[in-house]
Structure 1
Amino acid sequence: MFRRVLAAAAILIAAAAALIAAWPQLFGFQRLPIAAQVVSLRGIAIAVGLILLVVLLFVALAIPAFRRFCAALGLVVTVFVVVSVLVLATRGFGDNSFQSKGEADVTVLSWNTLGDEPGAAAIAQASLDVEADVVVLPETTSETAIEVAGLMKAGGHPMWVHTFAYDHISKARSTSLLLGVDLGDYSVDTDHRTTNVLPSLVATPDDGTGPTIVAVHAVAPIPSELNHWKLDLAWLKTACSGDNVIMAGDFNSTIDHFADLGTHEGATIGNCIDAATTTGNAAVGTWPTMLPPLLGAPIDHVMATPGWHVTGMRVIGSLDGAGSDHRPIVVQLSPRG
């Protein structure tokens, strides 16, 4: 009798844990410890679930007395795997199609370079290949950003350079932004901190007519930085409260973490809409490059306010060996109306 009660309790606990892991926002747990980390890697969670099903099958075959328990637990795991696959399928396993670029369109490239690791030549070439008008480079120093701009100018695509650094000890505490000269003159306020641990950079057009551009680097939700991470997301919500904003960079968050942070229906965070969500790319992992894209975490994003329409997106997998642990992403935005 006691064994049955214990087994029933274990199955109920497993079912509750599986439900939280599959959809933590149902309980408002998406930014809490453990749940925040698990939901970041849905692909890994699915793989673990499949391995567990194989283990349960072997245990059931080897120990007949455990068959009912294994069958019940296997049902819980199967439901978790199916639900998780369906969630990823609805978000999209990748659509690399782009519409023809219009004269007013803006192409955004975002790449966390892990402290300049790919080198200026690789960053510049990636930017030139996609004809980027906006290049967002978390963990990239001003020296490298200036070199990238020089190479892009030589390639016929001159850029203005802006860098915000909290210190010059760790390259991770620098964020650089390159803007095509055709976008006009922009100013950046580097006197006030933005995100708490790693700098985000806000560029505003001098003539007031272009989009405000936010180069994002939120801290990772590791246990010691969880409170700072939550504050970073709150700051990003405020940063995208305007009518004409483009945000891009390393958010260290998936769209699960943004649940309840949008200010209107369809918004991802603040007034911004995630490009990957609207193009069928939201299940494609951008970190780490050591994992296949469908097992990784989609934590790098390009977002924009509703005045912009996403006309193409791609997670660039051809640069996995370039030195960074993040994949670059490229998004094409077209102004509505």
Structure 2
Amino acid sequence: MTRLLAAIVIVGSAVIALVLAWPQLFGLAGMPGVAQIVALRGLGIAVALVLAVGLTILALLAAPARRFAASLAAVALAFALVNAAVLSVRGFGDFAFTTKGDSDVTVLSWNTLGDAPGAEEIARLALESEADIIALPETTNELGIDIALLMQAADRPMWVHTLAYDQESKARSTTLLVSVDLGEYSVDTATRTTAVLPTLVAAPVDGSGPTIVVVHTVAPLPPMEATWQQDLRWVADACDGENVILAGDFNATLDHITGLGVDGGDLGSCRDAALATDNAAVGTWPTQLPALLGSPIDHVMATPNWTVTGMRVIESLDKAGSDHRPILVQLSPAD
């Protein structure tokens, strides 16, 4: 009976490990609990390795439990190896940028946790990076104007657009700054987009530039999982044109958007900049964890008319006040 129970525990642990390591095989990437664990693959590797070492020591010291502990250690090690393989394919960071061309567009995206870094810090980063598009979830219109004034003083004038669902919580405001060199943009502030937190859609007035979508989906926390999945489907549908750039806080990793791409896209027709540049394993949230242990839930994505010619997650601002890291992406017109 003891051996039977041990076998059941070992097999059950192996099945659970497989589901958590690759939930897409079972269509469970959005399942409560699974969604949160798979979002933190790097942290999962660290935990699994600690368990594997502990169980190995137990197997060496306790002869009666040797086979049982060794088997569980093997399961934990296999879980860590599968996750490491997935992350290695996605890339642990390649921060190289090509020289920026006249037609290239630089996108800066940063969830500011309710204006936390302040206008000066955001403007400094935008000016240093020569950002043409600045996507700022959880950022008020007032801060957006302050940033624009600082950039105008540095001879980098920007249009400012904000979509706010209310004025009570800064998290329910999403702000976009776009360079006047890209032309004039219009935003429909009367239409609700994603359900709880606003996703801003900016269309070029003359129709010649990219449609810019500043994304902010709700987090997959109980009881919002269904709303979160609805938000992700809405964002996928938003990338149905020939010239679209998505940027912002998706509250989703590549695991969560499996099946939402069309025509070779990762989400709708859009392709993920981090995946294209070997940066998709670098975590953008939370800043309290090292980047390789965190969750890559902030993205810049674009339709195939753009080629990604540089991308990096900025780790030097982890103490700036936000719990998200900024991401910087350079896009070049595809040949």
TM-score band, normalised by the shorter chain?
over 0.9
Helix, strand or coil at the partner of 2:288: coil
Residue 142 of structure 2: aligned partner: 143
- Which runs of structure 2 are paired with 1:153-172 in the superposition (5 Å)? 153-172=152-171
* Shift, 1:77, TM fit: 1.2
Cα displacement (A) at 1:283: 0.3
* Structure 2 residue identity aligned to 1:168: Q
Match of 1:269 in 2: 267
Cα separation, 1, equivalents of 2:120 and 2:67: 60
Residue aligning to 1:107: 106
Q: In the alignment, residue 188 of structure 1 is paired with which amino acid? A: V
SS of equivalent residue, structure 1 residue 98: coil
How far off is 1:155 after superposition? 1.2
Q: Distance in 2 between matches of 1:296 and 1:155?
A: 34
Deviates more, 1:49-58 or 1:303-312: 49-58
Looking at structure 2, the residues matched to 248 and 314 of structure 1 have their Cα atoms a distance apart, in angstroms, of 14
Relative to the length of structure 1, the TM-score reads 0.98
* Post-superposition offset of 1:63: 2.0
Q: Does 1:74 find its partner at 2:55?
A: no
Tell me which residue corresponds to 1:189. Answer: 188
CA distance in 2, matches of 1:156, 1:8: 69
- What is the TM-score when the length of structure 2 is the normalising length? 0.99
Aligned-partner Cα distance in 1 for 2:325–2:220:
19
Q: What is the letter of the counterpart of residue 324 of structure 1?
A: S
Structure 1 CA distance, aligned partners of 2:80 and 2:269?
Answer: 32
Deviation at 1:227, TM superposition (A): 1.1
Task: Decide whether the 8 Å contact of 2:52 with 2:74 is kept in 1.
Answer: no
Partner of 2:328: 330
Counterpart check, 1:57 vs 2:51? no
Aligned to 2:97: 98
Q: Secondary structure at the match of 1:213?
A: strand
Query: Which residue in 2 is equivalent to 1:20?
Result: 19
Task: Point out the more displaced range, 129-138 or 74-83.
Answer: 74-83
- Report the number of matched residues: 335
Q: Deviations for 1:220-277, whole angstroms, at most 9, x for unmatched residues?
A: 1112211110010010010001111000000000001010100123x11000000000
How much does 1:161 deviate?
Answer: 0.1
* Contact 2:39–2:252 (CA under 8 A) maintained in structure 1: yes
Pairwise CA distance, 1:120: 0.5
Shift of residue 71 of structure 1?
1.2
User: C-alpha deviations, 1:137-194, integer Å up to 9, x for none?
Assistant: 0000000000000001111110000000000000000000000000001000011110
CA distance in 1, matches of 2:315, 2:108: 13
- State the partner residue of 2:84: 85
Shift of 1:58: 2.6
Is 1:175 paired with 2:166? no
Partner Cα separation in structure 1 for residue 59 and residue 169 of structure 2: 52
1:8 alignment partner in structure 2: 7
1:240 aligned residue = 239
In structure 2, distance between residues paired with 1:153 and 1:319: 23
Give the Cα separation in 1 of the matches to 2:12 and 2:191: 46
Q: Report the secondary structure of 2:309's partner residue.
A: strand
Q: Any conservation in 1 of the 2:53–2:73 contact (CA below 8 Å)?
A: no
1:66-96, CA deviations, whole angstroms, 9 ceiling, x for partnerless residues?
0001111111111111111111111111001
Return the alpha-carbon distance in structure 2 between the equivalents of residues 326 and 125 of structure 1: 17
Q: Which residue of 2 aligns with 1:283?
A: 281
Deviation beyond 6 Å, 4+ runs, structure 1: none
Partner of 1:293: 291
1:293-312 equivalences in 2 (<5 Å): 293-312=291-310
SS in 1 for 2:160: strand
Secondary structure, aligned partner of 2:259: coil
Cross-structure match for 1:41: 40
Q: Secondary structure at the match of 1:216?
A: strand
**Residues in 2 aligned to 1:49 and 1:181: alpha-carbon distance in whole angstroms:** 50
SS in 1 for 2:87: helix
SS in 1 for 2:224: helix
Q: Which runs of 5+ in 1 are unaligned?
A: none
More divergent stretch after superposition (62-71 vs 318-327): 62-71
Secondary structure class of the residue paired with 2:43: helix
SS at match of 1:253: coil
Instruction: Please state whether the residue corresponding to 2:276 is helix, strand or coil.
Output: helix
Aligned residue number for residue 200 of structure 1: 199
User: Hey, what does 1:122 align to over in structure 2?
Assistant: 121
Alignment root-mean-square deviation, CA: 0.7
Matched to 1:243, the amino acid is E
Q: Measure, in 2, the Cα distance between the counterparts of 1:283 and 1:155.
A: 35
